[in-house]
Each structure stands twice: as structure tokens, then as C-alpha cells.
Amino acid sequence: MDGRVQLPVLHWIKENYPVDFVDVITEAGMDHVLADQEDIREVLRSVAISVNLNKSTMLFVVGHHDCRGNPVAENLHRQQINDAAKRLKSHWPSQQVIGLWVNEHWTVEVVC
């Protein structure tokens, strides 16, 4: 949900993948939410709308430096991004799921 992350991620996705639009589903500390929380029905409902109605063809899980909704070390963020990507993949096996990390320079890095 952090506004500092939105533009770098949107620009990176559009520069690296042939997409016209990017749906954004936000939650404070989304990597932690998807990796560790038991009840993620509302997030999954939003992803289902993006995939089924908006015809999204790939999913991205993003974690970032200085996250105030999930203030943990970078290595834990990266693990959560990986775990979250696997969890989404289990719900949408035909989708490409990519994990991204936005570092302290607001540069996007691929995690998985």
C-alpha cells in the first residue's frame, strides 16, 4: 500500500512484461499477509476478480525496504515473498507468479 513503492513497481512491470494495465491489490505488509495469515479470503477474492474478470495473466507479490506494515529484516521479507508466491500459485496454477523486492534505492529486484 506504500505509495513510495507503487510507481517503481508499475514502471518495472510495464518495462519488463507486455502489459497495458496493472491491477494493484494492496494490504499493509502484503508479503506477510499472504505468507503467514490464515484468513486471506478477501485478498483471494480480489485476485480472482483480477484473473477471472480483468483477464490478468500474471501475478506479482511485492515486498519492500522500510515496510511499516511488516517491519522485519530483508531476508525474512524475501522468504515471505517466496512463500506468498507459492501460496498464490497453489490457487492459480496456470498463472505465472513472480516475487519482487523493492530495495532501499527503490529499485525492483526479482526474488522468485
CB atoms within 10 A of CB 42: 11
Mean pLDDT of all residues in 44-52? 98
Question: So what's the pLDDT on residue 24?
Answer: 96
Percent of the chain at pLDDT above 70?
100
Output the pLDDT for position 89. Answer: 98
Distance between CA 48 and CA 50 in Å, rounded? 5
Q: By residue range, what is the domain housing residue 85?
A: 3-110
**Mean pLDDT (the chain, rounded):** 97
Specify the residue for cell string 499477509.
33
CB 59 within 8 A of CB 32: no
Please state the domain count of the chain: 1
Structural contact between residues 85 and 97, judged by C-beta atoms closer than 8 angstroms: yes
**How long, in residues, is the chain?**
112
Helices 41-48 and 74-91, interaxial angle, to 10°?
60
| Selection from 60, 103, 99 nearest residue 79 by Cα | 99
- 4-45 pLDDT, tens digit each: 999 999 999 999 999 999 999 999 999 999 999 999 999 999
Confidence of residue 102 (pLDDT cuts 50, 70, 90): very high
